[in-house]
Amino acid sequence: MRRETYGRWLVALLAVFALFAASCGDDESDTESASAGSSDGDDTADDGDDTADDESAEPILIGFAIDLTGNMAPFDAPALAAAQITIDNINAAGGVNGRELMLEFVDTELDPAQTKSAALDLLDRGAEILVTTCDVDFATPAVQEGINAGVLTVAPCIGTDQMGPSRFGDAGRLAFTIGNLAQDEGAALAEHAYAQGLRSAIVIPDNLLVYFQNVCSAFAQRFEELGGEVVANEGFASFDGSVNNIGTIATGAGDADVIALCTFPPEITTAVSGIRSAGVDTAIYSPWSGDGSFWHPEGLSNFTFSAYASIFGDDPSAEVNDLIAAMTDAGAAPGTGGFITGAATIEAIAAAIEHAGSTDGAALADAFESFDGLPTISGELTFSPDSHTVTGREYRIITVTDGVASFVELLAASSPAL
């Protein structure tokens, strides 16, 4: 069931690129860009014989080494589709410094060896910027190839401070993420829970990924700073069967006011179902890895999560709703709000190229580190030599009642829980 769900993301995504290819008419460079985007990784782009003699006028290739068939597909695929729409809009307005942008992607299938080879394939094709999957652990094989090649390497929605020098050393200066810092997100969720009068918490991190550990740890830290009590903090690990113990964890911790659950599909479905089947109706809070409705158990209620955007027809931003409409019209309606970071990734890359005047990796990294409140569809982006991850962005807080998800408020954390 889950595999079929993920597979639909690829079908929808290919529909987007088919639409772009069909709309390009006789414009040679536009057709090449769209055709490259529709590749599944087995074919390379046209040989470029018709490209202008001046090399500086050639398209700027942005290579996406992302997951379209595994557990990150619900997050990576919408970001990729939004990125292509944003590229198309930028090209229609004249490109960047007189050059068009072109997108090619390879499906990593979330396999480490294939992730590495996807990055190498895209670099061999001439990718001047590399974009990776939305988790630092899964993305690492691609990130290492990108930064070792001296190429700016960006993730649309990695949510940890490790997408940079803290994990990758000096070469990590070329690595950035448009995602929110996990410690910032966890703090925001805790602040919202406490504001709702919730005073005792069970914290359940998925130890599979550092992101899940960090966001749940930050929730616990800020919740206690505010005066709340963490009555239990017990993790599990995806895919080893321990998710089946979560119902017992929830019942064993007594009458807590809130459960902070940090995991992703398909494990989140099992976890939430286990909690509710155990007779526990406690409020459940999740980071954006619980975004979307495709994984919901029937009749889900009292479930709150943070998101980059609301896909439920009630986002407070008209620009966001317009992009959702464009993706829907193209046959790739987003299943999570992470699509917004795909668009913002392209906006940030375009701004960096304009600022740097080139696609040199070090120059682009300098540009990224200089961004201070760069406006994007996802909100303002600020980076520095010390922080290659976004903090201070407003989250959409969304609550599910009787199976219906609704936007509640915009909320920025008072500060990261570091």
Q: How confident is the model at residue 391 (pLDDT cuts 50, 70, 90)?
A: confident
* CATH 3.30.1370.60 for domain 2-180+318-382: no
C-alpha to C-alpha distance for 306 and 198, rounded to whole angstroms:
17
Name the most confidently modeled range: 69-78, 124-133, 152-161, 387-396. 124-133
On whether the CB atoms of residues 400 and 295 are closer than 8 A, the answer is no
Residue 400 pLDDT exceeds 70 = yes
C-alpha to C-alpha distance for 286 and 299, rounded to whole angstroms:
17
Which residues 6+ apart lie within 8 Å of 4 measured at CB?
A: none
**Listed range (16-25, 200-209, 389-398) with the worst mean pLDDT:** 16-25
Write the burial class of residue 2 (CB in 10 Å: 0-12 exposed, 13-18 middle, 19+ buried). middle
Which residues 6+ apart lie within 8 Å of 93 measured at CB?
A: none
Provide the CA 356 distance to its chain's centre, in angstroms.
25
C-alpha to C-alpha distance for 378 and 393, rounded to whole angstroms:
8
Q: How confident is the model at residue 255 (pLDDT cuts 50, 70, 90)?
A: confident
pTM (predicted TM-score) = 0.84
Looking at residue 276, what DSSP letter applies? H
**Mean pLDDT over each residue of the chain, to the nearest integer:** 88
Q: What is the pLDDT of residue 406?
A: 98
C-alpha to C-alpha distance for 417 and 181, rounded to whole angstroms:
10
Which residues 6+ apart lie within 8 Å of 362 measured at CB?
A: 150, 173, 174
Which residues 6+ apart lie within 8 Å of 371 measured at CB?
A: 348, 351, 352, 381, 382, 383
Q: How confident is the model at residue 35 (pLDDT cuts 50, 70, 90)?
A: very low
Angle among Cα 48, 142, 140 to the nearest 5 degrees reads 165
C-alpha to C-alpha distance for 353 and 87, rounded to whole angstroms:
14
Residue 414 pLDDT exceeds 60 = yes
C-alpha to C-alpha distance for 376 and 390, rounded to whole angstroms:
12
Domain ranges in the chain are 2-180+318-382, 182-307+395-411
Type of residue found at 73: A
Per DSSP, helices labelled H in 258-405 are 267-277, 318-329, 339-356, 361-370
Task: Look up residue 287 and give its two tokens.
Answer: 């980071």
Task: Look up residue 19 and give its two tokens.
Answer: 């639409």
What is 182-307+395-411's CATH superfamily?
Response regulator (3.40.50.2300)
Residue 15 pLDDT exceeds 80 = no
Instruction: Tell me the mean pLDDT in the region 100-104.
Output: 98
Count CA atoms within 13 Å of residue 159 on its CB side.
Answer: 29
Instruction: Tell me the mean pLDDT in the region 118-142.
Output: 97
Neighbours of 90 (CB within 10 A): 17
Q: How confident is the model at residue 56 (pLDDT cuts 50, 70, 90)?
A: low
Please write the tens of the pLDDT for every residue from 288-339: 999 999 999 999 999 999 999 999 999 999 999 999 999 999 888 999 999 9
Q: What is the pLDDT of residue 326?
A: 92
Domains 2-180+318-382 and 182-307+395-411 share a fold: yes
Type of residue found at 40: D
Residue 389 pLDDT exceeds 60 = yes
Q: What is the pLDDT of residue 254?
A: 80
Looking at residue 46, what DSSP letter applies? P
Provide the CA 146 distance to its chain's centre, in angstroms.
18
C-alpha to C-alpha distance for 258 and 143, rounded to whole angstroms:
36
